[in-house]
Amino acid sequence: MAATPPPTPHHPTPHHPTSSHQASPTPVTLPHTLPFSTRLAHAIRAKRTPACVGLDPRRESLPPALGAASIDDPLALAKLYTSFCRDVIDAVAPHIPIVKPQLACFEALGPAGMMALADTIHYAHARGLLVLADGKRGDIGSTAEAYADGWLAGPWGCDALTINPYLGLDSIAPFVTTAKARHAGLFVLVKTSNPGSRDFQDLEANGSPLHEHVAAGVEHLAADTLPPGTSDAPGQHAYGLVGAVVGATWPKQLDTLRAAMPHVWILVPGFGKQGGRASDVRGAFDAKGLGAIVVSARDVIFAHSRPDMNAALAESQWQTAVERACHDMIERIAADTPAGKLRD
C-alpha cells in the first residue's frame, strides 16, 4: 500500500537564473580519497535509503508553471532545464544519496543542453549528492579511454557512469582502469527494464541466457575491485566498483542475478512509471539493506501530473509535489524491501 504523503513537507527555495546568458560553472574534479563503493555505502546509510532520482528533463512534461510549451529556442530551453533541475535537486537533496542525470535529455538541446548538464552535475555535487551519469557509453581502445577520462576523470567529473558491455570485456577494461584511479564507479547493462531486452539479452548461449554471461563477467570485475581492506568473508557484503543495471520489471531475473553477483552493486531502473513495484526489487538487496540503488525519474520529477501527489497544490507549488513523491518512493522501498533495515 502506498505511504501517505507527508502533510507538511518543507518548501525548497526555488532557483531562478538571473540572466539568460548565465554561464554554467565547471564541475569540480578533485580526486576522491575513498573508493566509490565506500562513498556510496556511506551516503546510503547517511540518508537511510537507497533511493535515486533520475533527472530526465523533457519540455512536454515540465510543470505548466514554467511555461515550457511556448519555448522553441534551445538556449532558452536549456536555461529552463538548468532552473528545473536545480529546483528538483533542492527538493530531493535532503532525502536521497544520489541522482542520475539522463545525458540524452540534455544532448538533445545541443551545446546549450550540455552547458545545462554541466550546471546540473556541479549543483548536485554542491548539494552533497553523488552523481551517476546515465550515458550507456561503450567502445574499444582509445575511444573507451576518452569516454572514461571525460565522464569520470575530466571536465564532467561524475561519480559513476553507465556503460554498455556488448563490445566485449576488453571494451570495459579502459573504464575500469580510469574508475580505479578516480575512485569512481561503473554500472554495466546486464538485464535492462525495457520489454525488448528479451530480443538479445535472453538468448541462450552455452546453456544459459546471454545476460547471465554478462553478469558473470561483471561479478569477476567487481570481485577484483573491492575497496582495499574489505573483508570478503561470508555475510560481509563487500562490493566492488563495477556494478550492474538490472530492471525492476524483471523480479525473477533480479533474484537470480543477485545470487550470481554477490560483489556487485545493482542499479535498478524501472521503478514506478515503468511498472516496477517495491516488492519487485526486494531481491536486489543484501540482508542489511545495501547492495542496490532504486531509481525513479518521471514519477518523482513530474509529480505535478500525479493527482495523489499534487492534491490541493497550486501550479507554482510543483516542487512540493516532487518532494511528496520522493518521500512516497522512499517509504515504499523501506516498507517492502530489506532497505527498511537502514533505519534500525
Strand partners, 103: none
191 is catalytic: no
Cell of 259: 545470487
Nearest C-alpha neighbor of 144 from the set 174, 186, 164, 167? 174
Q: How far is CA 100 from the centre of its chain?
A: 3
Residue found by looking up cell 518521500 in the block: 327
Q: Which of 79, 100, 136, 288 is catalytic?
A: 136
- Cα angle value 323/36/154 (rounded, 5°): 95
* Active site residues per annotation: 136
